[in-house]
Amino acid sequence: MTIIQDRLALLDTLVLEHGSHEPDGHFCVMEATAYIAGEPWSDKPKCVSPVIAAFLRSWDDSLDDDDRQMLKPYVTKVIGTKTTKRDEEKRAWMATDWLVRECVPAFLRLAGLTAHAEALEGLAALTTVKRAEKAQPTIGAARAAAGDAARDADWAAAGVAARAAAGVAVRVAAWD
């Protein structure tokens, strides 16, 4: 694991930004990681697990400018996480399972879609293609309910939560 100490000293002064950038002093979380690890400019540093990097890029892009700064500690924590293909597959399933059985239900509850939240939480852990295929009807029903709630809700908190849940559910379903 390589960390360029002179660059690490700059981490506190960096302002993480949305999206990818040219090497011009603007960084997303993964570009900052590549920079501090001494890699060529990229939002896909070779020293970081591709699954973890994808997760952090998505998280980075979903946060507002102030909240995005909370990702700074991960800049150094993820250096050296790239390991084996088997590890990457396990990480991918862990991320999928977390999204479907923990993250999405939280948004569904905010939207008043408790039955769908409970249905997703009750799924068997998503650790294989077979389990993911078996879960598709439940995921699809939650996605449809969230979409309906988003269309019916105004811009109140329930509407915002339903749209967020629909977006996450769509990404998870598309990943399969």
- Residues 91-108 pLDDT 10s: 999 999 999 999 999 999
Q: Which residue has the higher pLDDT, 149 or 77?
A: 77
Question: How confident is the model at residue 30, as a pLDDT?
Answer: 96
DSSP state of 131: H
Do residues 53 and 30 make contact, with C-beta atoms less than 8 angstroms apart?
yes
Which residues neighbour 141 within 8 Å (Cβ) at sequence distance 6 or greater?
A: 116, 119
Q: Is the pLDDT of residue 155 over 60?
A: no
Mean pLDDT, residues 156-174: 58
Residue environment code for 65-91, b if the CB has 16+ CB neighbours within 10 A, otherwise e:
eeebeebbebbbebbebbeeeeebeeb
Q: How far apart are CA 25 and CA 34, in angstroms?
A: 13
Q: Is the pLDDT of residue 158 over 60?
A: no
Q: How far apart are CA 175 and CA 166, in angstroms?
A: 14
Q: How far apart are CA 16 and CA 140, in angstroms?
A: 34
Q: At what angle do helices 50-62 and 85-98 cross, to 10 degrees?
A: 30
